[in-house]
Amino acid sequence: MTTQKPVAEGLFTTEPRLIGSECTACGEVAFPATEFCVRCGGDASKERLLADRGTLWTFTTQNFRPPSPPYDGPESFEPYSVGYVELPGELLVEARLTEPDPAKLAIGQDMRLTLVPYRVDDDGTEVLTFAFAPVEEEV
């Protein structure tokens, strides 16, 4: 059995859902979760599980390996897409997309949250991160 862990604690649950925060003073939603509100400066927030579906707001393709550090992913590099996904009534989330082919992505496309492998640590632990995948249309 492979041991798995998140790329960072407190980003997502295994269901999967992103873990955000909501300001108790003004209701501003943030991701990643934060104690202080960027809108009103409030210093109290509550945890909020964000929607697991949204709409692709914009995207681009990463065609070269990011510089290390801070990138600590696998040495072998394959191009991938990143974008902003609008979670209805909440916020825009910047995230990796599972579809690397820009011809298969479109602004306004329905997306769903998923977990994907990021790297494997020296001890064999698989490190997971979150990404958004296009929602397949039902036939």
| Upstream peptide bond of 88 is cis (omega within 30 degrees of 0) | no
Banded pLDDT at 137 (limits 50, 70, 90): low
**What percentage of the chain carries pLDDT values higher than 70?**
96
Whole-angstrom distance, CA of residue 56 vs CA of residue 86 = 6
Whole-angstrom distance, CA of residue 52 vs CA of residue 27 = 19
Q: Are 37 and 45 in contact (CB under 8 A)?
A: yes
Q: Are 131 and 116 in contact (CB under 8 A)?
A: yes
Whole-angstrom distance, CA of residue 64 vs CA of residue 44 = 40
Banded pLDDT at 139 (limits 50, 70, 90): very low
Structure tokens at 24: 């108790």
Render pLDDT for 68-125 as a digit per residue (tens, 0 to 9): 776 777 777 888 999 999 999 999 999 999 999 999 999 999 999 999 998 899 999 9
Q: Are 34 and 91 in contact (CB under 8 A)?
A: no
Q: Model's pTM, two decimal places? A: 0.89
Whole-angstrom distance, CA of residue 22 vs CA of residue 27 = 6
Helix and strand numbers, DSSP H then E, in the chain? 0, 9
Tell me how long the chain is. Answer: 139
Structure tokens at 117: 């492998």
Whole-angstrom distance, CA of residue 110 vs CA of residue 9 = 27
